[in-house]
Amino acid sequence: MAEIAASEPLRTVVEAGVVRLQGALLCREIERLANLSLPMPEGQAPGSRLEIALGQVRMMDTAGLAFLLGWQIEAAARSVTLRYTHPPKAMRAMVTVYGLVDWMILDGA
């Protein structure tokens, strides 16, 4: 039986207009988070765009996509548009397979 590779803990860095995720966006890492809510940068106004920077996310599974969909719902309730930059290949594939292309804005390679 193959051993599951250790993953990097999921970290969130909040800056003006940007939320950066770093590490592994996997079920086991999400379960360790104390707060699953979308961290809103101070001064983020309704009607604005918020970048979710994913360039430092090394691994992602369907729980990671579900986690981001939860943030998508929170943002919509606050009238904030999310834009996901540099999503992992796995996220691009899942967004296509699950028919979310028109709902989740993905930018960058």
Model confidence pLDDT, tens digit, residues 49-100: 999 999 999 999 999 999 999 999 999 999 999 999 999 999 999 999 999 9
Side chain identity, residue 27: C
- Which pTM does this prediction carry? 0.90
Long-range contacts of 1-8 (CB under 8 A, 24+ apart): 7/58, 7/59, 8/58
Q: Residue 8: which pLDDT band, with cuts at 50, 70 and 90?
A: confident
Contact between 52 and 82 under an 8 Å Cβ cutoff? The reply is: yes
Does any domain span residue 26?
yes
pLDDT in tens, 13-63: 999 999 999 999 999 999 999 999 999 999 999 999 999 999 999 999 999
Whether 102 is covered by a domain: the verdict is yes
Whether residue 4 is contained in a domain is answered as no
Place of tokens 């930059």: 85
List the one residue out of 75, 62, 59 whose CA is nearest residue 19. Answer: 75
CATH number at residue 37: 3.30.750.24
Residue 94 lies in a domain: yes
Residue 3 falls within a domain, yes or no?
Answer: no
Confidence band for 108, pLDDT divided at 50, 70 and 90? confident
Domain holding 48, by residue range, is 11-107
Q: Is residue 2 part of a domain?
A: no
